[in-house]
Amino acid sequence: MAASVDFVVVGSGAGGLAGAIAAKLNGLNPVVIEKAALWGGTSALSGGGVWIPNNHLMKRDNIPDSYEEAMAYLEATVGEVGPASSRERKHAYLDAGPKMVRSLEKLGFTWIRAPKYPDYYQKMPGAKVGRTLEASNFDANRLGAMLHTMRRNMMRPLAITTDAAPKIPTMLRSFNSLMGVMTVVARTLKFRIKGQVPLSMGQTLVAQLMAVVQSLDIPVRLDTPLKELVQDDAGRVIGVKVTTAQGEETIAAPRGVLMAAGGFAKDAAYRMPLQGVTGEWSPASPDDTGDGHKIGAAIGAELALMDSATWYPVSISPDGTINVGIWERTLPGSIIVDQSGQRYTNEAASYVDAGRAMLERDKTVPAVPSWLVFDTRYRNRYFFGQIPPRVTRQYVESGFFQKGETLEELAGKCGIDAAGLVATVTRVNSMAAAGGVDADFDRGDNVYDEYYGDPAHRPNRSFGPVDAAPFYAVRYWPGDLSTKGGLMADAHARVLRADGSVIEGLYVAGNNAAPVMGRTYPGAGATIGPSMVFAWIAGHHAAGADVSVC
C-alpha cells in the first residue's frame, strides 16, 4: 500500500490531470495512474479547445456573456437526454467552469481565447462567438524528463493557435489569411531563436496541466493500468487494484477514486454492438479501450448514452493517417455525396452533425464511404489538409485523390452513380450562380459555416460552383474523436447506480462519463471542457471542499 496516497485518479488526460490538481489544492494526496507508457491520452492529440462560457477572459475582452445565456444555449442544443445532462449538471458545469479557469491561471497555467471561434449552433438562443479557450503556446523543455513520456501528435512543433488554423488553407487567397500564417511562423521562430520547442493545441494543454501537476508534487505512475475497484462492505470504493511490471498492487484511496480513463473508441469488440462501427476511423488514443466503463459497470455503475460519439468525417491517407481536417468540406467548390451521387447534409455543419448525417444516410442509401467531390479551381486555391494547392499528381497516383476529366469519368472511378452526381453538381452550380444560396442545406448561412470558409469568396464563403474540370474525389468515412457515453454521474461527479443511488467514493469525468452535452456538441471544446470541469468538481467533493468558492 502506498501509505500517503488518499485519492486515486485513473487516467492522465486533461480530465485526470485537472482532477488531481483540484484534489491536491484541497488538501488531498492524489496519485495519477496511467495505463500507457505515455501520458496525455486523447487530450494530448486533440485541438486543445476548452469550451467554457462566461469565462473571465471574455469579460476582460469586453465580450458579453452570462450564465443565463449559456444555460439557454445548453438547454436549446442539448435538450433532454436523461440525467447525465440534467439541469443540475448543466448548472454545475457552467458554475464551476469559469472558476476552474481562474484557479488554474493562478497556478501558472496560461489561457488564451479563440476570439473568433463561433458556437456551433448560431441560430440557437444564447449562442456566442469566442467562448472557446485554449492553453497558450508552451516551451516543451519546461517539462524536463516528463517530455519524453508525453503522448505526441504528428504535427511539427509550431506555435499555432486555434484561430490561426482556418487561415492556413486560404493563405494564398487573402492577405488577412497570409498575415495570420506569417504570425504563426514569426511566433514559432521566436521560440526557436530562444532554443525553445513550441507546443500548441492539445499538446500545450496537457503540457501546461502537467507543469502544474509537477509544481504540486503530484505523482504520476505510468504503465499502471487499473484492473479493479476495491470496495468496503458497505460498497464504498476505497482503493484500486493495478498491475505493474512488478505484479499486482493495491493502492488505498480512502478519499475516493476518480475515473478519467477516456472512452472506448478503440475497443472494436465492445464498440461494434453499441455503435455499429469498430473505431478504425477514429484518431483517438490507442489506449481508449473502455477500461473505465467496464470496471465501473462491474461494480454496478449505470452506463448511459453508449450509442453516442463525437462523430467526425475523416479521410484516410495511403499511409493510414486519419485526417481530421474541417476546411476541406467547408471551402467552396466541394460537396459531399453518397454513392448515389446525392448530397444529404450541410457539409459545413459541425463535425458531429456531419458525421452523424453520414451514418444516418447509410441506413437508406450507401454512404459509407461518402465522397468529397471538388473541382480544379478548389484544388488550385486551397490546402487540402497539409497538401499545398496545385500539388496533385502524386496524390492521384497514390489513389488518395480520384480524378476524372468529366464528372461521369470521376463517378465511374469512384463507383458513384454518374447520373446522380451530374444532377447534383448541376443543381449546386445553378444555386451558386443564382446568388450563392444553398437552398437545399443552408450551407454558409451563418458564421460557424463561414469560419473555415474562404474570406475572398463572394457571396458565400462556403458554397460555390463545382465546374472547373478535371474533377477530384476523396473517400470520407464516419470517424470520431472518441466515444461519448459512459458512467452516469450526478452534479458532484459521483457515479450512480441504475436506481439513482450513489456509489460512494467513486467519481467520473471525461469520456469515461455519460456526457453533460448529451448527443450534441455545442461548441469547440465541448468534450475537454466538461472533462476538466467535472474532474475539478470531483477533486473538490472528495476533499469535502466547496467548488463554488474555489
Q: Which stretch binds ligand FAD (CB under 6 A): 37-45, 299-307, 361-369, 392-400?
A: 37-45
Residue from 387, 481, 503, 517 in contact with ligand FAD (CB under 6 A): 481
* Helix, coil or strand: residue 417: coil
**Residue 313: CB minimum distance to ligand FAD, A:** 13
Interaction of residue 226 with ligand FAD, rule CB under 6 A: yes
Residue from 13, 313, 444, 453 in contact with ligand FAD (CB under 6 A): 13
**In angstroms, how far is CA 56 from the centroid of its own chain?**
23
- Please report which residue ranges of 330-446 form alpha helices under DSSP H: 351-361, 376-381, 393-397, 407-414, 418-433
Residue from 279, 283, 341, 505 in contact with ligand FAD (CB under 6 A): 283
Indicate the residue type of 146. M
Interaction of residue 355 with ligand FAD, rule CB under 6 A: no
**Residue 339: CB minimum distance to ligand FAD, A:** 27
Q: Which stretch binds ligand FAD (CB under 6 A): 46-54, 67-75, 105-113, 388-396?
A: 46-54
**Residue 11: CB minimum distance to ligand FAD, A:** 3
Residue from 14, 58, 133, 314 in contact with ligand FAD (CB under 6 A): 14
Distance CA 190, CA 440 (A): 47
The nearer residue to ligand FAD, 225 or 436, going by C-beta atoms, is 225
Q: Which stretch binds ligand FAD (CB under 6 A): 9-17, 166-174, 330-338, 541-549?
A: 9-17
Q: Are 489 and 507 in contact (CB under 8 A)?
A: yes
Interaction of residue 328 with ligand FAD, rule CB under 6 A: no
Q: Which stretch binds ligand FAD (CB under 6 A): 85-93, 488-496, 520-528, 538-546?
A: 520-528
**Residue 48: CB minimum distance to ligand FAD, A:** 5
Interaction of residue 43 with ligand FAD, rule CB under 6 A: yes
- Please report which residue ranges of 82-240 form alpha helices under DSSP H: 87-106, 175-193, 201-215
**Residue 509: CB minimum distance to ligand FAD, A:** 7
Scanning the structure block, which residue is given the C-alpha cell 472528495? 542
Task: Render 47-116 in DSSP notation, one character per residue.
Answer: ---EE-TT-HHHHHTT----HHHHHHHHHHHH---SGGG-HHHHHHHHHHHHHHHHHHHHTT--EEE-TT
Residue 73 phi, psi dihedral angles, 5° rounding: -65, -45
* Helix, coil or strand: residue 188: helix
Distance CA 391, CA 382 (A): 10
Burial code (b: 16+ CB inside 10 Å, e: under 16) for 139-149 equals: bbebbeebbeb
The nearer residue to ligand FAD, 14 or 207, going by C-beta atoms, is 14
* Helix, coil or strand: residue 165: helix
Interaction of residue 188 with ligand FAD, rule CB under 6 A: no
Distance CA 522, CA 124 (A): 10
Distance CA 443, CA 457 (A): 14
**Residue 55: CB minimum distance to ligand FAD, A:** 15
**Residue 263: CB minimum distance to ligand FAD, A:** 7
Distance CA 508, CA 537 (A): 10
CB atoms within 10 A of CB 73: 23
Residue 102 phi, psi dihedral angles, 5° rounding: -65, -45
Residue from 308, 392, 511, 520 in contact with ligand FAD (CB under 6 A): 511
**Residue 412: CB minimum distance to ligand FAD, A:** 33
Q: For the segment 230-269, give every residue that binds ligand FAD (CB under 6 A).
A: 260-262
Interaction of residue 207 with ligand FAD, rule CB under 6 A: no
Q: Give how many residues touch ligand FAD by CB under 6 A.
A: 44
Q: Which stretch binds ligand FAD (CB under 6 A): 231-239, 283-291, 395-403, 540-548?
A: 283-291
The CA–CA distances, whole Å, from 163 to 114, 168, 201, 506 equal: 5, 10, 11, 38
Interaction of residue 324 with ligand FAD, rule CB under 6 A: yes
Distance CA 71, CA 93 (A): 10
CB neighbours of 148 closer than 8 A, spacing ≥ 6?
none
The nearer residue to ligand FAD, 42 or 170, going by C-beta atoms, is 42
**Residue 344: CB minimum distance to ligand FAD, A:** 24
Angle at 41 between CA 449 and CA 127, to 5 degrees: 25
- Please report which residue ranges of 383-417 form alpha helices under DSSP H: 393-397, 407-414
**Residue 283: CB minimum distance to ligand FAD, A:** 4
The nearer residue to ligand FAD, 444 or 525, going by C-beta atoms, is 525
Residue 61 phi, psi dihedral angles, 5° rounding: -90, 10
Residue from 23, 30, 31, 46 in contact with ligand FAD (CB under 6 A): 46
* Helix, coil or strand: residue 477: strand
The nearer residue to ligand FAD, 264 or 382, going by C-beta atoms, is 264
Distance CA 45, CA 13 (A): 10
The nearer residue to ligand FAD, 283 or 332, going by C-beta atoms, is 283
Q: Are 342 and 378 in contact (CB under 8 A)?
A: no
Residue from 482, 491, 520, 540 in contact with ligand FAD (CB under 6 A): 482
Interaction of residue 520 with ligand FAD, rule CB under 6 A: no
**Residue 466: CB minimum distance to ligand FAD, A:** 28
Interaction of residue 288 with ligand FAD, rule CB under 6 A: yes
Q: For the segment 91-130, give every residue that binds ligand FAD (CB under 6 A).
A: none
The nearer residue to ligand FAD, 284 or 514, going by C-beta atoms, is 284
Q: For the segment 527-546, give every residue that binds ligand FAD (CB under 6 A).
A: 527-529, 531
> What is the binding site for ligand FAD (CB under 6 A)?
10-16, 33-36, 41-43, 45-49, 225-226, 260-262, 283-285, 287-288, 291, 310, 324, 481-482, 510-512, 524-529, 531
